[in-house]
C-alpha cells in the first residue's frame, strides 16, 4: 500500500514538473516588453505591426521597400517597374524620436545571397548631412562570409564601421536571427553581438578623433559630432529584417 502511495505521489510530482517546465522556459513573445522591462523604463520602437515610430530620412513618411512581414520590420529592395524599367527610390529610415544616452537592443536577420546581405544601424543621426552615415556612426550588419565587405574586418558585422573591428566573427548562420546591442553614455560606446562585446570606444577621446580623420568619414565634417540624434536603419540592395527593437534612455 505504501509503495502504491509513493508511486502515486512520484507520478504527480513528475507530471507537475512536466507542466511547469515549459511554462518556465517559454520565451517572451517577440516585439513585446516584460513587466520588469516596462518598469525599468524600456520602450518599444516596433510592436510587430506598425512602423509609426520610424520615418524616412528627410521624409515625413516611409520610403518604398520598408514593410512589416512576419512580425518583423523588413527592407525588401523595390522591384523595377516593367513599363519604365525604373525602380522606386528607397532610403534609410530613422526613429521619429531623438536620443542622447541609451541602451538600444535589436535583433537582425539577413537573407541568403544573392545578393549578399548588407545593412547597418546608425545613431546620433541628424538631417544636416546628405545621408545618415554622414553624421551617425554605424553598427555594421553584414553577411561576413559572402559580401565583399567581409574581407575587411573593419566592416564586418558588429564593427563600428571602418573605425573599430570586432575581435572575432560571432555571427550566426545566414537566415538565423542575431541579437545586438548599442550602449552609449556620455560619449562612451559599447557594441554587443550575440552576447559578446565587439567594440568599445570613447567619442570624446583623441583616439576616436584620429581614427575619424584617417577614415572616409573625414569627408563629412559633421560626422560623429552630435551627442543627440536619431537612430537609423540602413537599406541596401538586399533583404534585411529587424525585430525586438527596444530602447532605454540613460539620462
pTM exceeding 0.75: yes
Span 193-230, pLDDT tens digits = 999 999 999 999 999 999 999 999 999 999 999 999 99
For the cut 60, the answer to whether the pLDDT of residue 5 exceeds it is: no
Q: Note the pLDDT of residue 9.
A: 45
Confidence of residue 21 (pLDDT cuts 50, 70, 90): very low
203 Cα distance to chain centroid: 20
**Between 185 and 22, whose confidence is greater?**
185
Q: Taking all residues of the chain, what is their mean pLDDT, rounded to a whole number?
A: 91
Write out the DSSP string of the chain: -HHHHHHHHHHHHHHHHHHHHHHHHPPPPTT---HHHHHTT-EES--SS--TTEEETT-SSPPTTEEEETTEEEE-PPPPPTTT--------EEESS-BSSEEEEEEEEEPPSSSPPEEEEEEEE-TTSSSGGGTS-EEEEE-TTTSGGGGSGGGSTTSBTTTB--SS--PPPBTB-EEEEEEEETTEEEEEETTEEEEEEETTSHHHHHHHHTSGGGGSTTTTT-SSBEEEE--BSB-EEEEEEEEEE--
Q: Note the pLDDT of residue 86.
A: 72
Span 78-125, pLDDT tens digits = 876 676 767 778 899 999 999 999 999 999 999 999 999 999 999 999
Confidence of residue 26 (pLDDT cuts 50, 70, 90): low
For the cut 50, the answer to whether the pLDDT of residue 15 exceeds it is: no
Q: Note the pLDDT of residue 190.
A: 98
For the cut 50, the answer to whether the pLDDT of residue 52 exceeds it is: yes
Class of domain 30-249 (CATH, top level): mainly beta
- Residue in this structure with the C-alpha cell 516588453, named with its chain if needed: 33
What's the CA angle centered on 163, arms 74 and 211, to 5 degrees? Answer: 145
Q: Where are the domains of the chain?
A: 30-249
Q: Note the pLDDT of residue 184.
A: 98
Q: What is the mean pLDDT of residues 176-204?
A: 98
Amino acid at each position: 500500500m505504501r509503495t502504491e502511495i509513493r508511486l502515486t505521489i512520484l507520478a504527480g510530482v513528475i507530471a507537475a514538473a512536466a507542466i511547469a517546465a515549459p511554462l518556465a522556459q517559454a520565451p517572451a513573445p517577440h516585439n513585446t516588453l516584460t513587466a520588469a522591462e516596462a518598469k525599468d523604463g524600456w520602450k518599444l520602437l516596433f510592436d510587430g505591426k506598425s512602423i509609426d515610430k520610424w520615418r524616412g530620412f528627410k521624409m515625413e513618411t516611409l520610403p518604398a521597400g520598408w514593410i512589416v512581414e512576419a512580425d518583423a520590420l523588413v527592407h525588401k529592395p523595390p522591384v523595377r517597374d516593367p513599363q519604365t524599367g525604373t525602380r522606386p527610390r528607397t532610403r534609410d529610415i530613422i526613429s521619429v524620436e531623438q536620443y542622447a544616452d541609451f541602451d538600444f537592443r535589436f535583433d537582425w536577420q539577413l537573407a541568403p545571397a544573392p545578393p549578399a546581405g548588407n545593412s547597418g544601424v546608425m545613431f546620433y543621426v541628424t538631417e544636416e548631412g546628405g545621408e545618415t552615415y554622414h553624421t551617425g556612426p554605424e553598427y555594421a550588419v553584414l553577411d561576413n562570409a559572402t559580401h565583399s565587405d567581409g574581407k575587411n574586418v573593419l566592416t564586418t558585422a558588429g564593427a563600428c564601421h571602418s573605425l573599430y573591428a570586432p575581435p572575432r566573427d560571432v555571427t550566426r548562420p545566414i537566415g538565423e536571427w542575431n541579437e545586438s546591442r548599442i550602449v552609449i553614455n556620455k560619449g562612451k560606446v559599447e557594441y554587443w553581438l550575440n552576447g559578446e562585446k565587439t567594440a568599445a570606444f570613447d567619442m570624446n577621446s583623441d583616439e576616436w578623433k584620429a581614427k575619424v580623420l584617417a577614415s572616409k568619414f573625414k569627408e563629412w565634417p559633421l560626422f560623429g559630432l552630435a551627442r543627440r540624434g536619431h537612430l537609423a536603419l540602413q537599406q541596401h540592395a538586399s533583404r534585411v529584417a529587424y525585430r525586438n527593437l527596444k530602447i532605454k534612455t540613460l539620462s
